[in-house]
Amino acid sequence: MGFGDLKTPAGLKVLNEFLADKSYIEGYVPSQADIAVFDALSGAPSADLCHALRWYNHIKSYQKEKGSLPGVKKPLGQYGPAGVEDTTAAAPAAADEDDDDIDLFGSDEEEDEETIKIKEERLAAYNAKKAKKPALIAKSSILLDVKPWDDETDMAKLEECVRSIQLDGLVWGQSKLLPVGYGIKKLQIACVVEDDKVGTDQLEELITAFEDYVQSMDVAAFNKI
């Protein structure tokens, strides 16, 4: 398993394809697996790697609390698609010192079976808590206007980038292109969100991150369901 060399275009392409149908490296919530891969990157992926860029921007928003995310960091070779070997150059040891200070489950020193068992129990309890859903889930129907830079913007690619954003509590709906003027068209796209999980500010941040295609995003309509 692995992504090849994540500091090269080839490795980033493998990561982009891996995230085409996934929100996270492992599971359904941000975890130390995402942090391990994020820290291996030299910077943000290019705009044409829309799945990797969407994931990068999302995980970047967790940097202040990354030490509290669940799980334990593993070598990069234990993540990613099968049949691909990890060849990413190791980061300097000092880069992980701050993470060690705030490790959710303690240090990375040699552990006995009892310590490992406690870690597993804590992780299982955390995942069980996250899996619980309230009896009533507040949802909203939102209509977004996404505007390109000019009439030469590839609107099909713009829509692909928008739909690549996958979040727990977000479902994309129908879309259409509407004329704005001077030959420019905007993308109008509907979505349904769970209010406790997804907000319009978060959607705007993720959509406008595709800055090669998106000039701005506005909320055209917002209705509680």
| DSSP string over 2-22 | --S-TTSHHHHHHHHHHGGG-
Name the DSSP letter for residue 78: G
Band of pLDDT at residue 133, cut at 50, 70 and 90: low
Cα–Cα distance for residue pair 225/222, rounded to 1 Å: 10
Global pTM value: 0.49
Which are the contacts of 106, defined by CB distance < 8 A and separation ≥ 6? 115
Residue 215, CA atoms < 13 Å, CB-side half-sphere: 14
3-state class (DSSP) for residue 142: strand
pLDDT at residue 118, as a whole number: 85
**Cβ contact 169:202 at 8 Å:** no
Cα→Cα distances 50→6, 19, 21, 87, Å: 16, 9, 12, 23
pLDDT tens for residues 62-76?
888 888 888 888 888
Cα–Cα distance for residue pair 210/162, rounded to 1 Å: 8
Q: What is the mean pLDDT of residues 203-212?
A: 94
Q: What is the mean pLDDT of residues 11-26?
A: 89
pLDDT at residue 110, as a whole number: 53
Q: Which of 104, 40, 28 is nearest to 76 (CA)?
A: 40
**Stronger pLDDT, 208 or 106, i.e. the higher one:** 208
Q: What is the mean pLDDT of residues 3-7?
A: 85
Q: Going from the N-terminus, what domains does the chain have, and what CATH number goes with each?
A: 9-78 (no CATH), 139-224 (3.30.70.60)
Region of 89 (left: φ > 0; alpha: ψ -120 to 50; beta: rest) is beta
Task: Indicate the helix (H) or strand (E) that contains 106.
Answer: none
**Stronger pLDDT, 200 or 102, i.e. the higher one:** 200
**Stronger pLDDT, 67 or 152, i.e. the higher one:** 152
Rg of the chain over Cα atoms, rounded to whole angstroms, equals: 20
